[in-house]
C-alpha cells in the first residue's frame, strides 16, 4: 500500500494560468476553501507566453466599438459554430474583466488621454486589444498571481493530477503527485474546476510549452464528460521557422497589428489574393489603401494581413507549396520597412529580443521568416454557457480546456479575455455548487490505490519503451497525418497509429527515482496525450468539410450541412470514443441579426469619432 | 553538426557530481536543447525546470560555464564549446535534483510586500510617461537570476532579513505606481533589508529582461528610505502635509 497525503477543499482548481487563477479568486470571494494545483511554479503557466493582447470592446480608441460588434466579429471568425450564449456572455463581460485587472494592479499601455490603449488584431473590426507591448500574458498572470496571493490562495506548485476521483457519478476530487518528491496526494473536493489549458504538444511544431499535454480533456473524458468540436485546432500563421531548435515559437500577431506585412519569395503581398468570400469588401484591395489605413485614415479598409488566423495560415502554406516560400519553408514577415526602429522596439520588445537572441536577426532591419505552428484548440470540454459546468456533476471547465466560445476558429486576443470571463464564472458556480453539497461523499480507497499502482508501473517494467521516443513518434505522426491540411486516408492511418501507440503508452520504462524525474512524467503524459489525439482525429474524420481551423484536402470547401452541426465526442462505458453530430443551439432572432450584420454602423450606438 | 561535451551537475540536496555527456549539436541550438537531448537519449531522469523555451517564463535559470543565464536563451555559438561546457544549478537555492532548485523562498519572502492599494476614488487615468518606469519593473519574469547572483543571498545566505533584488523591483513597481497609496518604506528598512544592498549591480548584469534593477529600482527606493527615516526636515514636512506615502499625489518618482 502506497501512502499519500490528503487535502480537503471545497473547490479544487487544476491549473494556475489565467483561467485557473481567476476561478480561484472568484471561489475564494464566495467563501470557499480553495486549493490550486499547478504543474509548474506559480506565474509560469502557458498564459505567460501570450503576447498581443486581450480583446474587449471598451471603445477607448474607437468609440463605435461595443459588445455587439465584438459578438459579430467573434462568430464570423468562428465560422458561426460558436456557442452564441457563451459569445454573448463573453463580449458583454470582457471590458469589466479588463478594468478589474487594472484595479488589481495591471499596468496596460495608455491612450494619449490616459486610458487603456487598444490595438488592432486579425478579425477584429476595431482596435480592441488591451495590451502591454507584446508581453500581455505576463501582465495578466502576474496580476492574477499577486491578487490571488493577496486573497490567500493555497497553491500546490509542481504538482500533477493523474486522475479525477468519482463517487456515484460525481467528481469528488483528484489524485496527483508532487513532481519534486514523487509523493502522492489525494485532494478531496466538492467541486473541481479544470483550467488545464491546451494540447499543442500533441503536434511536433507548436508554440505551446511542455505543459500543454491536453491533460484536462482526457481527465474529463475519462470520467464521462463530453468534449465538443475537437477537430478545430488553430495553427497560428506566424511561428518561427529557423533555426530548427526554435521552430514553432510564436511570433505575435501584434507584428501585423502594428503594420507588419507578409510577402513571398517574389516580394508579393500575397494576402491580397487570399480574401475569402465571406470577408470580401471588408479589407483593403490595394497596397495604397492598406498604406492609408496604417497612416490612420479611417475611410481606408484594413490590410488583408489582418484576416483571421485560419485564413492567413493556409495562405502561407499555399505559397510554400507552390514554390514561393522563404528559404526555410515559410513566408517573410516585414515590419522593418513599415515602422521606425524605435517604435518596433517599444511596441514589440520581446519579438525584437527573441529574434536577436535566437535567430541572430534584427527585426528592425530585416524581415522575419515565419510559418504555421500549432497554437490553440478551439474545441474542448463541453460546458454550460453560464456556469461552465460539464455534464458530470461537480466538474467545471474554463479557459482553453473548455470548448464552445471560439467555434471553428479563435480570433487573436479572444483567449486572454476568455480566461478571465469564464474563469470567474466557473469559480463562482463551483463555489455555489460546493456550498450546496451537504451529504457525505467518499473517496474510494481501492480506486486511489489502483491509480497509484498504474502510475508507478513504468518503474517496474524494465523491458518497456523509452517514453521520450514514444512522445516523439506521437508528435511527428500527428503533425504529418492530422496537421494543418487533412484528408481521409491519412486520418485513418493516424487512428491505427494511435491504437498502436495507446498500447505502447502503457508499456514504458523509466529509470531513477520518483523525485523530479522527467522520464516518469513523460511516461504518464503520453497516456493522456494518446487519448486526446484520438478525439481530435475522430472529430476531424467526421467533419467532411473545411471550416476555420479544420482544413480537408478532400473536402476543401465549407458545407452548409456541417455549418449547422457541432461534434460531441463521447466516451462509451467500454472506454471507446464516438462522435455524435448535434444541431447548433438556436440563436435568438435579435442576436442573429447582430451576428449577420453587413454594415457595422447598424451595430454602433455611437457613430463617428 | 559537431560533437560537444557537456558536464552537467547530477545530484540532490545531499550532494552530487558533474557528469559528462557527449552530444551531437546543430546550428542554432541553445543549452536547453542540449539538456533535452541528453534527457531523451542518455539520462531520462535528468531533472531540469523549463516551460516556454522562449525567454518569457523565467523557469530555466542555471549557471553555464559559471555564468548565470536562462538556458533557453543561451545559444551554443555564444559560448566556448571547444572545451566541456559546465552546467550547474543556481547556487543560491537548495538543489531539488540536478538542475532544478527549490525557489520557494522567493514566494514566501514576497508576502512581506504590501499588495497594490489603489486610491479608492481614482478615475484610473494614467499617462504613458507616468507608467513607463513601472512597466519596466513589470517586465520581470521571475527567473530569480538576480537573487541567485546577489552576494547578500549567495555568499551570506541572508534570507530572513533581506528580500533580494527581485522583490525590491516588485516593491518599486508598487511604490512608483501612480495610483498606489500604501507605504512600504518601513518594510524596506526593516525586514526588507534594503540597507544590505551595496550597489554592486551584479543583479542588473544578469537580468535577461534588461531591467535597470539597481539604478531605477533599488537606488530610488534607498533614497526614499533615507528621506523618510534619516532626513528630519523632509520627514517633518511629510508628516505634516501628507497622509499618503508621497507628497505628490501622482506618486511620480522624484528621483527619476
pLDDT tens, residue by residue, B173-191:
999 999 999 999 999 999 9
CATH topology of domain B2-101: Ubiquitin-like (UB roll) (3.10.20)
| Interhelix angle A84-103/A136-150, nearest 10 degrees | 70
- Chain center to CA of A11: 23
Residue of A nearest to B99 (CA): A516
Q: Residue A503: in which H helix or E strand, if any?
A: helix A488-505
Round to whole Å and give the CA distance between A315 and A256: 15
Whether residue A42 has a cis bond before it, omega within 30° of 0:
no
Q: How far B139 CA lies from chain A's nearest CA (Å)?
A: 8
Task: Indicate if A592 belongs to the active site.
Answer: no
CB burial of A146-176 (b: ≥16 within 10 Å; e: otherwise) equals: bbbbbeebebbbbbbbbbbbbeeebbbbbbb
Residue A16 has pLDDT above 60, yes or no: yes
Pick the CATH number of A240-373 from 3.90.700.10, 3.90.1150.10, 3.30.70.1060, 3.10.180.10: 3.90.700.10
How far apart (Å, rounded) are the C-alpha atoms in residues A216 and B161? 41
pLDDT (average), residues B128-156: 97
Q: Judge whether A4-234+375-436 and A445-559 match in fold.
A: no
C-alpha cell at B242: 501628507
DSSP labels, B71-111: GGG-BGGGS--SSPEEEE--SSS-EEETTEE--HHHHHHGG
CATH for B104-241, among 2.102.10.10, 1.10.150.110, 1.10.1060.10, 1.10.10.10? 1.10.1060.10
Taking the model in full, what pTM does it have?
Answer: 0.95
What is the residue-averaged pLDDT of chain A? Answer: 96
Yes or no: say if A161 and A219 are a contact pair by the CB < 8 Å rule: yes
Query: Does the pLDDT of residue B238 top 80, yes or no?
Result: no
Distances (CA, A) of B122 to A112, A272, A604, B126, B182: 18, 46, 29, 10, 14
CB-nearest partner of B115 from A142, A146, A468: A146
Angular region, B10: left φ>0, alpha ψ -120 to 50, beta rest: beta
Mean pLDDT, to the nearest integer, of B212-224? Answer: 98
Model confidence at A587: pLDDT above 80: yes
Instruction: Considering only residues B249 and A474, tell me which one the structure prediction assigns the higher pLDDT.
Output: A474
- How high is the pLDDT of residue A599? 86
Res. B251 pLDDT band, cuts 50 70 90: very low
Q: Model confidence at A608, in pLDDT bands (50, 70, 90)? A: very low
Chain A: closest CA distance from residue B143 (Å) = 10
Give the total residue count for chain B. 256
CATH class (in words) of the domain with range A445-559: mainly alpha
Residue B240: predicted pLDDT: 67
Q: How many Å apart are CA B126 and CA A107, to the nearest integer?
A: 9
Q: Would you tell me how many other CB atoms lie within 10 Å of the CB of residue A381? A: 29
Burial of B7 (0-12, 13-18, 19+ CB in 10 A): middle
Which of the four pLDDT bands, split at 50, 70 and 90, describes residue B239? low
Flag if B126 and A48 touch (Cβ within 8 Å).
Answer: no
- Give me the pLDDT at residue A439, please: 78
Residue in A46, A124, A256, A406 annotated catalytic: A256
Residues 6+ apart with CB under 8 A from B190: none
| Listed residue (A202, A299, A119, A278) closest to A537, CA to CA | A202
Assess whether the region B2-101 and the region B104-241 belong to the same CATH fold. Answer: no
Sequence-separated (6 or more) residues with CB below 8 Å from residue A340: none
pLDDT at A609 over 50: no
Quickly count: other Cβ atoms within 10 Å of residue A7's Cβ.
Answer: 18
In this predicted structure, what is the pLDDT of residue B230? 86
| pLDDT (mean) for A56-62 | 97
pLDDT score of B252: 38
Contact at 8 Å (CB) between A378 and A519? no
Asked if A49's CB is within 8 angstroms of B56's CB, the reply is yes
* pLDDT score, position B247: 37
Question: Given an 8 Å threshold on Cβ–Cβ distance, is B110 in contact with A149?
Answer: yes
| CB contact set of B78 (below 8 Å; sequence gap of 6+) | none
DSSP single-letter state for residue A588: P
| pLDDT surpassing 80 at residue A84 | yes
Supply the pLDDT for residue B237.
Answer: 72
Q: Given A62, A128, A201, A236, which residue is catalytic? A: A236
- Cβ(A420)–Cβ(A189) below 8 Å: no
Angle at alpha carbon of residue B74, lines to B68 and B79, rounded to 5°: 85
A256 given a catalytic annotation: yes
pLDDT digits (tens, 9 = 90+) for A294-340: 999 989 999 999 999 999 999 999 999 999 999 999 999 999 999 99
**What sign has the CA pseudo-torsion A233, A238, A239, A243?**
positive
Q: Is the pLDDT of residue B53 over 50?
A: yes
The set of cell numbers assigned to B80 is 566556448
Exposure string of B128-145, with b = 16+ CB inside 10 Å and e = fewer, is eebbebbbbbbbbbbbbb
Check pLDDT > 50 for residue B248: no
Please answer yes or no on whether B39 and A114 come within 8 Å at the CB atom. no
**The three cell numbers locating residue A571:** 466516451
Average confidence score pLDDT of chain B: 92
Count chain A–chain B contacts defined by CB atoms under 8 A.
166
Instruction: Please compute the mean of the pLDDT values over residues B193-212 and round it to a whole number.
Output: 97
Q: What is the CATH number of domain A4-234+375-436?
A: 3.50.50.60
The answer to whether residue A606 scores a pLDDT higher than 70 is no
Residues near A233 by Cβ (< 8 Å), separated by ≥ 6? A203, A374, A376, A377, A378, A379, A536, A549, A550
Q: Phi, psi at residue A434, to the nearest 5°?
A: -60, -40
Q: In this structure, what are the phi and psi dihedrals at residue B100, rounded to the nearest 5 degrees? A: -90, 125
| β partners of residue A571 | A577
User: Which of the residues A141, A151, A245 would you substitute to probe the B interface, choosing the one with the greatest number of B C-beta atoms within 10 Å?
Assistant: A245
For chain A, domain boundaries: 4-234+375-436, 240-373, 445-559
CA proximity to A379, closest of A363, A400, A358, A396: A400
- Look up residue B5 and give its three cell numbers: 561535451
How far, in whole angstroms, is CA A495 from its chain's centroid?
24
A48 neighbourhood in chain B, CB within 8 Å: 51-52, 56-57, 141
For chain B, the domains span 2-101, 104-241
CB contact under 8 A, B45 and A511: yes
Chain A residues with CB under 8 Å of B138 CB are 107, 132, 138-139, 142
**Grid-cell match 468539410, residue found:** A545
Question: How many Cα atoms are found within 13 Å in the side-chain-facing hemisphere of B86?
Answer: 10
* Average pLDDT value for residue range A561-584: 96
How confident is the model at residue A104, as a pLDDT? Answer: 98
Burial A470-504, CB ≥16 within 10 A → b, else e: bbebbbebbbebbbbbbbeebbeebbebbeebbeb
**Over 60: is that where the pLDDT of A377 sits?**
yes
Amino acid at each position: 500500500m502506497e501512502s499519500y497525503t490528503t487535502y480537503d477543499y471545497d473547490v479544487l482548481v487544476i491549473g494556475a494560468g489565467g483561467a485557473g487563477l481567476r476561478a480561484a479568486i472568484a471561489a475564494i470571494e464566495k467563501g470557499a476553501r480553495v486549493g490550486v494545483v499547478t504543474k509548474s511554479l506559480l506565474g509560469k503557466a502557458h498564459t505567460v507566453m501570450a503576447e498581443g493582447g486581450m480583446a474587449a470592446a471598451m471603445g477607448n480608441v474607437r468609440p463605435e466599438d461595443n459588445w455587439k460588434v465584438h459578438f459579430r466579429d467573434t462568430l464570423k471568425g468562428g465560422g458561426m459554430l460558436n456557442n452564441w450564449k457563451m459569445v454573448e456572455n463573453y463580449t458583454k463581460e470582457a471590458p469589466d474583466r479588463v478594468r478589474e485587472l487594472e484595479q488589481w494592479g495591471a499596468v496596460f499601455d495608455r491612450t494619449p488621454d490616459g486610458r487603456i490603449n487598444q490595438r488592432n488584431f486579425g478579425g477584429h473590426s476595431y482596435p480592441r486589444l488591451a495590451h502591454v507591448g507584446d508581453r500581455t500574458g505576463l501582465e495578466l498572470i502576474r496580476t492574477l498571481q499577486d491578487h490571488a496571493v493577496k486573497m490567500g490562495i493555497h497553491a500546490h506548485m509542481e504538482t500533477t493530477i493523474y486522475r479525477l476521483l468519482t463517487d456515484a457519478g460525481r467528481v469528488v476530487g483528484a489524485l496527483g503527485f508532487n513532481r519534486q518528491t514523487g509523493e502522492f496526494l489525494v485532494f478531496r473536493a466538492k467541486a473541481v474546476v479544470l483550467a488545464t489549458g491546451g494540447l499543442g504538444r500533441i503536434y511536433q511544431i507548436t508554440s505551446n510549452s511542455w505543459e500543454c499535454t491536453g491533460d484536462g480533456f482526457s481527465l474529463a473524458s475519462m470520467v464521462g464528460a463530453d468534449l465538443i468540436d475537437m477537430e478545430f485546432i488553430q495553427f497560428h500563421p506566424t511561428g518561427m521557422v529557423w533555426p530548427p531548435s526554435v521552430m514553432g515559437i510564436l511570433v505575435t500577431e501584434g507584428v501585423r497589428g502594428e503594420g507588419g506585412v507578409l510577402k513571398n519569395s517574389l516580394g508579393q503581398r500575397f494576402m491580397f489574393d487570399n480574401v475569402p468570400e465571406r470577408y470580401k469588401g471588408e479589407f483593403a484591395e490595394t497596397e495604397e489603401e492598406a498604406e492609408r489605413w496604417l497612416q490612420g485614415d479611417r475611410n481606408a479598409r484594413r490590410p488583408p494581413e489582418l484576416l483571421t488566423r485560419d485564413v492567413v495560415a493556409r495562405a502561407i502554406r499555399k505559397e510554400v507549396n507552390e514554390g514561393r516560400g522563404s528559404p526555410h519553408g515559410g513566408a517573410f514577415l516585414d515590419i522593418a520597412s513599415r515602422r521606425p526602429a524605435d517604435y518596433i522596439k517599444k511596441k514589440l520588445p520581446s519579438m525584437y529580443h527573441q529574434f536577436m537572441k535566437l535567430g541572430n536577426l534584427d527585426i528592425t532591419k530585416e524581415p522575419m521568416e515565419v510559418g504555421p505552428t500549432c497554437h490553440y484548440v478551439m474545441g474542448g470540454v463541453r460546458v454550460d454557457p453560464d456556469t461552465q459546468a460539464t455534464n458530470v456533476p461537480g466538474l467545471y471547465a474554463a479557459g482553453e480546456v473548455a470548448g464552445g466560445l471560439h467555434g471553428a476558429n479563435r480570433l487573436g486576443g479572444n483567449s486572454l479575455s476568455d480566461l478571465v470571463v469564464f474563469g470567474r464564472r466557473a469559480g463562482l458556480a463551483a463555489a455555489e455548487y460546493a456550498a450546496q453539497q451537504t451529504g457525505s461523499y467518499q473517496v474510494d480507497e481501492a480506486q486511489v490505490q489502483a491509480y497509484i499502482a498504474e502510475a508507478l508501473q513504468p518503474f517496474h517494467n524494465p523491458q518497456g519503451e523509452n517514453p521520450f521516443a514514444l512522445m516523439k513518434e506521437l508528435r511527428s505522426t500527428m503533425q504529418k497525418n492530422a496537421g494543418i491540411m487533412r484528408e481521409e486516408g491519412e486520418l485513418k492511418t493516424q487512428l491505427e497509429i494511435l491504437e498502436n501507440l495507446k498500447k505502447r503508452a502503457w508499456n514504458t520504462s523509466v529509470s531513477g527515482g520518483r523525485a523530479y524525474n522527467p522520464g516518469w512524467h513523460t511516461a504518464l503524459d503520453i497516456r493522456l496525450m494518446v487519448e486526446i489525439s484520438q478525439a481530435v482525429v475522430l472529430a476531424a474524420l467526421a467533419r467532411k468539410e473545411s471550416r476555420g481551423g479544420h482544413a480537408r484536402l478532400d473536402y476543401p470547401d465549407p458545407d452548409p450541412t456541417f455549418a449547422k452541426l457541432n461534434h460531441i465526442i463521447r466516451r462509451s462505458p467500454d472506454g471507446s470514443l464516438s462522435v455524435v453530430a448535434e444541431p447548433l443551439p438556436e440563436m435568438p432572432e435579435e442576436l442573429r441579426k447582430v451576428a449577420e450584420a453587413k454594415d457595422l454602423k447598424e451595430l454602433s450606438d455611437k457613430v463617428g469619432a | 553538426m559537431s560533437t560537444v561535451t557537456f558536464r552537467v551537475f547530477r545530484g540532490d540536496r545531499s550532494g552530487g557530481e558533474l557528469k559528462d555527456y557527449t552530444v551531437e549539436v546543430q546550428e542554432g541550438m541553445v543549452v536547453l536543447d542540449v539538456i533535452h537531448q541528453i534527457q531523451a537519449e542518455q539520462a531520462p531522469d535528468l531533472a531540469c525546470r523549463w516551460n516556454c523555451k522562449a525567454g518569457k517564463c523565467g523557469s530555466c535559470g542555471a549557471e553555464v560555464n559559471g555564468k548565470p543565464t536562462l538556458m533557453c536563451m543561451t545559444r551554443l555559438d555564444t559560448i566556448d564549446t571547444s572545451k566541456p561546457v559546465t552546467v550547474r544549478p543556481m547556487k543560491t537555492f537548495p538543489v531539488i535534483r540536478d538542475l532544478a532548485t527549490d525557489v520557494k523562498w522567493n514566494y514566501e519572502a514576497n508576502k512581506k510586500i504590501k499588495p497594490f492599494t489603489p486610491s479608492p476614488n481614482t478615475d484610473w487615468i494614467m499617462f504613458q510617461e507616468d507608467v513607463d518606469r513601472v512597466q519596466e519593473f513589470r517586465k520581470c519574469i521571475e527567473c530569480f537570476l538576480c537573487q541567485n547572483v546577489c552576494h547578500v543571498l549567495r555568499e551570506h545566505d541572508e534570507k530572513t532579513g533581506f528580500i533580494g533584488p527581485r522583490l525590491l523591483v516588485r516593491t518599486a513597481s508598487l511604490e512608483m505606481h501612480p495610483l498606489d497609496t500604501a507605504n512600504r518604506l518601513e518594510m524596506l528598512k526593516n525586514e526588507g533589508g534594503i540597507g544590505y544592498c551595496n550597489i554592486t549591480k551584479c543583479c542588473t548584469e544578469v537580468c535577461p529582461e534588461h531591467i535597470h534593477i539597481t539604478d531605477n529600482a533599488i537606488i530610488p527606493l534607498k533614497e526614499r528610505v533615507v528621506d523618510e527615516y534619516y532626513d528630519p526636515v523632509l520627514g517633518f514636512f511629510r508628516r505634516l502635509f501628507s497622509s499618503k506615502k508621497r507628497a505628490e499625489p501622482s506618486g511620480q518618482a522624484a528621483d527619476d
